[in-house]
Amino acid sequence: MTRKSAPVRLFAEAALAAVLAVACGEVRESAPEPTWESGARLRARLLDGGGGAPIFEGFHDVELDADCTFYRMTDGVLRCIPPPSSSRLLYSDAGCATPSMVIPLDDPSTTTVYLFASPSAPLCGAGALTAIRALGDEVPISEGLFEASDLGGCQPMQTDASSTGPAFSLGDEQPLDVYVSANVMHEPVSDALSARKLVADDGAWVITDIEDAASGNPCTPLPADERRCVPQLAGVISQRYGDAECTEPVASDEAHAFYSRADIDCSWAPKYVLEPRDSCGSSFVVRAAGEKTTSAFWGNSDGSCEATGPVAAFTAGDPVSHADFAKVDDVDVGTGRLRAKYDGSGRRPIVARNAFPGTFSFYDRDAGERCQRAEACDGSIRCEPPEASALVYGDADCKTKVLRAGACETPAKRVCIARNANASCLEYDYYDTGKQVSADQRYSKLGDRCFASGNVGDDLYFEARPVHGFTPPLLTEHVE
């Protein structure tokens, strides 16, 4: 008997359900095409909502018995390498070009450090992985060292030796040919869109991005009623400025804000910048990227202007119509309670929504609301609805519950509120969002005491309708 690989098997579940539904007189959509395939060595890690609603989370290298992520090397080769432990790299020069020592941060047992072409982070473009070095002997932290700045550039080491962990010298380079390599392929999806596919040399493959077919570059779906995919983004006009008074806003050259993975080289010429339409950033004006310049200033929320390390930036040119870009469709995958959320074209899924940080990967049909993974106190994985900003009260006796939402939030139909916010694991109460109510005096409760808490800025308030007997659906995580 031939064993089906997981994407074929899981997506086949949806196909079988569709066939059975048609046999019973109900018409449903046909099963979608898989978006990944396991190989002989790289096996897919899945988050499965059941009923043919799987989401690809990454690969597991069975030979190394380790999860791995594709990194682009300086020679252009993509290799699936275990993610690096967080560490603090110190340099002997003011350009952060010569690494001197490393301070492990989250894993004191780590034995290696990753070196990237860019000192800031393993990001696209200049962020190619140059080497994996073994940790050498513990060494004292000397004066005159430098480190990469969070805002770009290179700066003197900010913490003295008495307030940091042990540092180690850099040892020998580790061989890289022990890791599975991959090539990039481009698969047409429609006249306007294509899929970027990584094909590993062991037979595994995965679609990683939606691409603009005309340019052949990954594109970013913008939030809008009719979503459009913009390629060759340079950055967002936000808190970066080109002058010391912070009066000349620019878009920093940070394509990694959209493609923060080490498998993309970002070698395209930046063509567009985004300008938020409002302070919420819920929608954007697309503008042509103007002149390339340098930004050495950061505008703080209190109105002050802070000098930073210089970073490449772009001025903003003329606005570009959203209609000039390819449309991206919402595609739901699955036939059960949970539907996996994908960006795609027509009915074809291309990239799961979990590819973008902070997005909701599933839709719960019972709750009528999107949901995302959360670790439950019993050790299971649940798909929880969005968490409300806060639960307050509309009366001085703290009997009328009210949901508070930030001015930039779109209230979800069903929300959760942690009843034990400071506990090691969270338990939730559930509420449906009712009609908007007045933002007059609000109250909070501490133990048995009810006290006036006032209103916060432009926050919005809604009726909180308790939901009893609701159990968030289970998710399962496994390696094929």
- The pLDDT tens digits of the residues spanning 37-46 come to 999 999 999 9
Contact criterion met (CB below 8 Å) for 48 and 106: no
Distance CA 283, CA 73 (A): 35
- Type of residue at 205: W
- The pLDDT tens digits of the residues spanning 269-311 come to 778 888 888 877 778 899 998 888 888 899 998 889 999 878 7
Q: Is the pTM of this model over 0.85?
A: no
More confident site: 28 or 52:
52
- The pLDDT tens digits of the residues spanning 80-95 come to 998 877 788 888 888 8
More confident site: 370 or 255:
370
The residue among 42, 38, 35 whose CA lies nearest residue 67 is 42
Give the model's confidence band at 132: pLDDT under 50 very low, under 70 low, under 90 confident, else very high: confident
Range 51-57 average pLDDT? 92
Compute the mean pLDDT over every residue in the chain, rounded to the nearest whole number. Answer: 82
Give the model's confidence band at 350: pLDDT under 50 very low, under 70 low, under 90 confident, else very high: very high
Range 407-429 average pLDDT? 84
- The pLDDT tens digits of the residues spanning 196-224 come to 999 999 999 999 989 999 888 888 888 76
Contact criterion met (CB below 8 Å) for 197 and 185: yes
At 205 the pLDDT is 97
Q: 147 pLDDT exceeds 90?
A: no
